Amino acid sequence: MTNLPTTDRSWPTAGASSDLGALRAKVPLVHCITNVVVTNFTANVLLAIGASPAMVIAEEEVEFFATIASALLINVGTVTHVEAPAMLRAAKAAQAAGTPWVLDPVAVGALAYRTELVQQLLEFGPAIIRGNGSEIGALAGGEGGKGADSTQGSDAALEAGIDVARRTGAVVAISGATDYITDGQQVATVSGGDVLMTRITGTGCSLGATMAAFAAVCGSPLDAAVSASAVFAQAAERGLKQSHGPGTLAPAFLDNLASIEG
């Protein structure tokens, strides 16, 4: 599917395990400007894995906070004119301060307002861009999906992701049945998790936040995206065995994020 060197880095991998240990030792402060659907779940995911979430969204506060935070997540899922200027200021401040930041361009390509915002945000050098196949395809110039749910498999989006990575300098993580993560030179794959995870809102969004947490401790954004994805998929696998549907999967997933060995 690609000529780039491709490595399977699904759990268990020594890298993810030691990265997780480093994360828990550091307890990175993760500044999140995210959508109103997933704030609670995202905070609980970060707490479960061992990070310290902080949702600071006021235009007056984000520059300072992005500077002192260990990492930043910007997710445009429910952006309005209230959050958009704050996102731009936070991204700019993060770039200036060297705070690694993750961009989750929810539904980019499908809606003009956020598509323009995402283009502006890309100017500030995100370390990682996480999306589904449709969103990454839209960033590469294709047609976007209709909403948060992808209409394009992650396999088909890999070429688009490689293109976006090369053009932006960011690591691109494409979520799907198999996750693809690329820096434009190499590709890592992470499998596991399950289609049932798509029946819980915020799993993708909170994976983006978790990538930010790992970015605060990993040697490279590629490793951060890979380790976050591997831990997520493994906690999902374990949670599935302890649950009876999407409702009980969510708490079981959080339990396993907390108990998985670093």
| CA quadruple 40, 45, 48, 52: dihedral sign | negative
Pairing of strands 101-104, 178-182: unpaired
Q: Does 138 participate in binding its own copies (rule CB under 8 A)? A: no
The 106-125 site mask, x for binding its own copies (CB under 8 A), equals -x---xxxx-----------
Q: Does 97 participate in binding its own copies (rule CB under 8 A)? A: no
The distance of closest approach from Cβ of residue 242 to its own copies in the complex, given in angstroms and rounded to an integer, is 8
Q: If you compute the radius of gyration of the chain from its CA atoms, what whole number of angstroms results?
A: 16
Q: Which is nearer to its own copies, 135 or 183 (CB)?
A: 135
Q: Does 261 participate in binding its own copies (rule CB under 8 A)? A: no
Q: Which is nearer to its own copies, 81 or 98 (CB)?
A: 81
Q: Which of 6, 17, 18, 52 binds its own copies (CB under 8 A)?
A: 52
Q: Name the token pair of 83.
A: 């959050």
Dihedral angle of Cα 92, 96, 102, 107, to the nearest 10 degrees: 20
Q: Name the token pair of 216.
A: 């605060």
Helices then strands (H, E): number in the chain? 10, 9
Q: Does 245 participate in binding its own copies (rule CB under 8 A)? A: yes
Q: Does 96 participate in binding its own copies (rule CB under 8 A)? A: no
Q: Does 246 participate in binding its own copies (rule CB under 8 A)? A: yes
Q: Does 57 participate in binding its own copies (rule CB under 8 A)? A: yes
Amino acid at the residue 118: V
Number of residues this chain uses to bind its own copies (CB under 8 A): 63
